[in-house]
Amino acid sequence: MSVPHPAPAGDDGYVMTAHRAGLLGCRRCGRVWPADTLDCGRCGAGLAPPDRRGLQAVWAWLAAGLVLYVPANLLPMLKTQTLGGLQGNSEATIIGGVIELARYGNWDIAIIIFVASVMVPIGKFIAISWLAIVAGRPASIAEAHQRLRVFEVVEFIGRWSMIDVFVVAILSALVQLGFVASIHPGPAAVSFALSVAFTMLSAQSFDPRLIWRGLPLRRRKDTPA
């Protein structure tokens, strides 16, 4: 999603944004139009001004994702059955699977799973919460750009959060040897997939145009000596 950037400040220090220029930015393609325009002439998307009340959807999706992330880590992600259960059945949580991979020397895979399934989701929860809290609040131009970079990182890494679910799906499809061995997804797989989906919906519900609403009307100028 393209995000419109404000024009640089002029010589008088005035910080020009689309909102202050009487324009309305399209959330889909980034093109700006007069404030009374209803639909984007480039991509056809409906136009609406940014509203802090839309943050309610951000918090709702984020809370749902956070609630489901707890059982996703406590319940088994993978169930393995060997020799029809004669040698016992094993269950592994996300952290348990990372520990097992590291124990057998697969450090590279263990690190990838740990980063994608633990660090990335927790980082997204923190980043989205911070963006929702500071959205529309006073900020300098540098701070606004920092907030935008955080939002772009959250959107970029969102697609990699499902790697643990992909691994479970591939193993469940490939390791189906009947009586000898079989692997089935555990209840945590559903919780984790829903948690990731709700977190992505939370990020998509956030309107990045709110970031520029907190810019000062004028930059402070240094007092001449």
Ordered by where they begin, the domains of the chain are: 1-49 (no CATH), 50-214 (1.20.140)
The pTM assigned to this predicted structure is 0.73
How confident is the model over 167-187, as pLDDT tens digits? Answer: 766 766 655 555 555 667 788
How confident is the model over 42-70, as pLDDT tens digits? Answer: 888 787 777 777 889 999 999 999 999 99
Per-residue model confidence (pLDDT) at position 174: 59
Per-residue pLDDT, averaged over 145-159, amounts to 86
Number of H helices, E strands in the chain: 7, 5
pLDDT band at 94 (very low <50, low <70, confident <90, very high): confident
pLDDT at 91 over 60: yes
Most confident of 14-28, 86-100, 181-195: 181-195
| CB distance 200 to 158 below 8 Å | yes
Q: Which token pair is 40? A: 């984007």
Per-residue pLDDT, averaged over 214-221, amounts to 53
- DSSP one-letter string for 42-96: TT--B-----GGGHHHHHHHHHHHHHHHHHHHHS-SEEEEEGGGTT-EEEE-HHH
